[in-house]
């Protein structure tokens, strides 16, 4: 198991530093701001505005601290949506670490809602409430097979220089396959090599303004031409 250290990021929210990798779970410029901008705004919000859909399936790569899942749950409530949220995680964090994260002090919601996402069983579809079901898959991304069923992918793996095996053409081909037509993948990373790989796979690449402190982010759209 890795050694983890708590770090305060630019918006005062916590992230975790993996000491052995010298890599953090979120942007050091602001963990909550990054999650809100990349995944909620450019991912979920733009998608529901464009498609007008009220029921959607989200797939997340890397459940980690559960920050994205928690914000997506609150987003679903706020917008009266039904989200089926599937998140994959190879190395779940201990609850003792989760309990020390300061997200509930900064995000207006009850801490019990955040903790509930961590307390539910792995590898089971769990109804959190009328707006949100959560399926946490304790497995490796390479073992997931999804087809034509996902509306939005939150691609939140560690950076390509840390985990190059999660940013390959094969991985993005399987993400392309997982999405419905017009489905989108959003990621905080906008490295040239990632853009090229995403284009090669057949996605429509959109380079968008990044969260505070980051110039760019990527949205990849599964456009199916006639
Ligand atoms: C950048 S962190 C982000 C986590 C999370 N989205 C959050 O907000 O805390 C990347 C996550 O991917 C997980 N991970 C690493 N390799 C993986 C793999 N092969 N399959 C699934 N998850 C993996 C890590 O354990 C870590 O929790």
Residue 7 domain-assigned?
A: no
**CA–CA gap between residue 56 and residue 151 (Å, rounded):** 6
Tell me the average pLDDT across 186-208.
Answer: 98
Q: What is the per-residue pLDDT for 110? A: 82
Q: Give the confidence band of 203 by pLDDT, cuts at 50, 70, 90.
A: very high
Q: Which atom of ligand 1 is nearest to the CA of 157?
A: 10
- Say which CATH number the domain at 126 has: 3.40.50.150
Residue 167 domain-assigned?
A: yes
Residue 50 domain-assigned?
A: yes
Task: Look at residue 225 and tell me whether its pLDDT is greater than 80.
Answer: no
Task: Look at residue 212 and tell me whether its pLDDT is greater than 70.
Answer: yes
**CA–CA gap between residue 159 and residue 211 (Å, rounded):** 16
Residue 103 domain-assigned?
A: yes
Q: What is the per-residue pLDDT for 2? A: 82
Which domain covers residue 76, as residue numbers?
A: 28-221
Q: Is the pTM of this model over 0.75?
A: yes
Q: Which atom of ligand 1 is nearest to the CA of 23?
A: 1
Q: Is 148 exposed, middle or buried (0-12, 13-18, 19+ CB in 10 A)?
A: exposed
Across all residues in the chain, what is the average pLDDT? 96
Which residue's CA is the nearest one to ligand 1's atom 25? 91
> How remote is the CA of residue 89 from the centroid of ligand 1, in Å?
6
Q: Give the confidence band of 226 by pLDDT, cuts at 50, 70, 90.
A: low
Q: What percent of the chain has pLDDT over 70?
A: 99
> How remote is the CA of residue 88 from the centroid of ligand 1, in Å?
8
Residues touching ligand 1 (Cβ under 6 Å) are 25-26, 62, 64-65, 67-68, 88-91, 140-141, 156-158, 163, 166
- How many domains, the chain? 1
Residue 8 domain-assigned?
A: no
Task: Look at residue 157 and tell me whether its pLDDT is greater than 70.
Answer: yes
Secondary element (H or E) of residue 204: strand 204-209
CA separation, residue 32 to residues 29, 112, 148, 195 (Å): 9, 18, 30, 24
Which residue's CA is the nearest one to ligand 1's atom 19? 140
**CA–CA gap between residue 78 and residue 76 (Å, rounded):** 6
* 3-class secondary structure, 99: coil
Q: What is the per-residue pLDDT for 127? A: 98
């Amino acid at each position: 198991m890795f050694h983890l250290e708590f770090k305060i990021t630019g918006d005062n929210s916590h992230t975790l530093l993996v000491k052995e990798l010298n890599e953090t779970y979120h942007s050091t410029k602001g963990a909550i701001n990054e999650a809100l901008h990349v995944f909620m705004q450019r991912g979920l919000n733009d998608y529901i505005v464009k498609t007008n859909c009220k029921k959607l399936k989200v797939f997340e790569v890397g459940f980690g601290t559960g920050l994205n899942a928690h914000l997506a749950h609150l987003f679903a409530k706020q917008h009266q949506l039904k989200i089926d949220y599937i998140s994959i995680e190879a190395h779940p964090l201990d609850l003792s670490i989760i309990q020390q994260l300061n997200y509930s002090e900064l995000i207006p919601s009850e801490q019990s809602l955040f903790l509930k996402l961590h307390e539910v069983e792995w590898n089971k579809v769990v109804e959190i409430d009328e707006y949100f079901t959560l399926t946490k898959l304790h497995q490796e991304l390479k073992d997931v097979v999804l087809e034509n069923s996902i509306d939005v992918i939150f691609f939140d793996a560690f950076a390509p220089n840390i985990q190059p095996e999660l940013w390959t053409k094969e991985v993005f081909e399987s993400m392309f396959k997982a999405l419905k037509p017009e489905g989108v993948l959003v990621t905080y990373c906008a490295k040239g090599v990632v853009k090229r790989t995403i284009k090669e796979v057949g996605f429509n690449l959109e380079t968008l303004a990044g969260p505070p402190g980051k110039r760019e982010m990527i949205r990849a759209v599964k456009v199916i031409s006639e």
